[in-house]
Amino acid sequence: MGCRILDACCGPRMFWHDPHHPDVVYIDQRVETCKIDVGTPNTIGRKDVVIAPDIKASFANLPFKSDCFDHVVFDPPHLFRKGITAGVFARKYGFLTEDWRSILSAGFRECLRVLRDGGTLIFKWADTDTPLAEVLELCPARPLYGHRSGKAMHTHWVAFIKVK
């Protein structure tokens, strides 16, 4: 494997400028096409969302040897609400289940495990349901820096560097 970058939870690859970049391995536990036009005013005419990772796998159990990527992007689902499994956001981005703390904790450990020493981990989180501080407690590494964007939904981008 000659790829240098891992997207550990790619979903529909929405934030990538090149969603088929040759240096990136795109991972997701889902392979599906999500129908977005469900006939409601906000969905009429919207294109289906395709989730087509290079490798179908869970970010909580990555199928790679340790210390093999220079850069890892970790953008897990952030919505956690009863009944959201049928909504457009849940179909598009996934959702958190009752055991979300253990799943995200395993995800952080796995992302750091496959990251080379000196490599960077970029974590993206929207705090609509769970505050960023509560989620960062699940990560064994300390953040290097971060940025909050958005007004209604605060999306946070947090950078980590792996050090021995």
**Ordered domains of the chain (ranges, CATH):** 5-161 (3.40.50.150)
| pTM > 0.85: yes or no | yes
**N- to C-terminal Cα distance for the chain?**
24
Mean pLDDT value across residues 4-22: 93
Q: Identify the band that residue 49 occupies on the pLDDT scale cut at 50, 70 and 90.
A: confident
The owner of tokens 């450990």 is 109
- Per-residue pLDDT reduced to its tens digit, 86-131: 566 666 677 778 889 999 999 999 999 999 999 999 999 988 788 8
Q: 72 and 65 in contact (C-beta within 8 Å)?
A: no
Q: 140 and 107 in contact (C-beta within 8 Å)?
A: no
Q: Identify the band that residue 2 occupies on the pLDDT scale cut at 50, 70 and 90.
A: low
Q: Identify the band that residue 79 occupies on the pLDDT scale cut at 50, 70 and 90.
A: confident
